[in-house]
Structure 1
């Protein structure tokens, strides 16, 4: 889902899609978030002297995106009938292996799909912009979601063609290849050869896709990633305390990104009552202040705390408040994506007030202390 097309990954290129925080088993939250049973076994093992060495070794491999291969008991197995909507408060799967050299990590849980991404970016000169070097993204779709329509659109964009009429290249899902986890699988290559997609149906009309961008030996790498996918439904955890919202707000998206061995930003997206589609009407969350991309900077205060506001066009706006208690160098953000979201929150003053009430958990850098949604 997150690829090198700049119109699709604008947010990912201007912010971090971020690396794993260090500091223990929970540091690899992206790969094993919510895996309480594994953490319990580790805590028991730490009580023994021999396990100290094992835990230390695990801390090294965690930074490389590596976990031991799953045993049959670890696998819950995919659902036999996929839902038409996922619960964004639940993480559906984890990965036991990702290739080296992709230090940035992201988790995106939506009602229509869920992704885990790993990427390497290169800065663009002295700007805050970055360009994608290579990436691997695993996506699980809800029943009826047409991932391949988006892939075909990107294929057409890459080749300079409009998405009309027959295409002169193979269309997704692509050629039949060896099964993945017992399911018929397919491999698709984009017209320019940059994107390789391994896919299979985990349930009728519901797909898993593993997409590599500029990945060497892509077919081999993507299959190894796919073989290490473990279905493991667990509560998704975030470093944001609950905050009162207007009645009727519904969670529709949860995103966490890591960079430089620590979480970098967290966003929770909500829909107003009566909203259609799957995109959020407004978002709130936390961000490392050094990742601010506001062009206006601080332009006000709220209760003595620095604030930045941007009231944009057609309901888009962003309201940020710094000096977050208990989270040095952090700020709280609230943004509206459309007029219904802006109206639902009560306008700019109410949105800024909501940002001022957002708080981090007691120790946001200790992922074991993060709260379940």
Structure 2
């Protein structure tokens, strides 16, 4: 834990984490906020799932373009333009009533989603030395998960209260506060995109990136099925108030998982750690369809959160190892374009399956998707060999000096 305390004492780390928390809280609220708003207005789980799915689809399809723009022009203007636009649209959506209007605004909301996580990730290479990247990825993932703990609980409580409109109003305010705070940081305003290597292959032509895209499609489908399948499950069983608790438990254990991953020795390569935790993920996901929206789903959700938290830390290390120079944001953006599109499809299909068949089919399909993701990495892991090495002492020393130069 000393490594984490050392990081949290750094002024740059404190500023970046605190500034990003409100906007990340908003992202933790938005999906369930859309779901409950549309479901309460239309009395249809299928339409609510469609709205959530279209929102995710628009966000994922546009994130690649937004990431390329950031890598070319910087972070300031995307935040200044998209943050207030997004907050205003949330309020507008909150007071809309027509089915067509709700679906349309959900789609537009996804298209103009501010690049909060895309903005934060590349800044860690400036704020933190290279040899502490695993630890800071763990802390960053833990902060995202903490926001995800509060977000679902808060939005569920507000959406089911006597003032349901307050749920999305709070979401809009949080995005506005966090987005402005992040845009005003010195490290954000002065960040200069990496220069691309002359003659380097396009990101999407790289075999390692293509492998991660294929894996990401399966995982996107899995999370989409879970994201809408769980609230559909609890709603149909008459325990909608447990939705936030289930997601909160998953997010809390996601924090534990990410912090645990950050403490794993650097003697374990990112790829080996990723493959080991992936197998654990497959095993705990297997009995998901046999659960009920009670203690059984809570336990499985906790284990899924633990596995997911560890996975995310090693995943970011792998992306950093295999991506081409000059594309720190684009690499994340394009991977999320495919994974997020799959997530949106999974969420949209999940609502229909839950209403016409049963949410259990969604949970079973999630287990299959996670297994397929594991098999994809298992078969193609040789393409990720650049993430299966440990940095030398000289590389660590050089990284520390470079980071210190950038922060002085």
- Settle same-fold status: TM greater than 0.5: no
TM-score, normalized by length of structure 1?
0.29
Larger relative contact order (Cα-Cα within 8 Å, sequence gap ≥ 6): 2
Relative to its length, the structure with more helix (as a share) is 2
- TM-score of the superposed pair, with normalisation by structure 2: 0.27
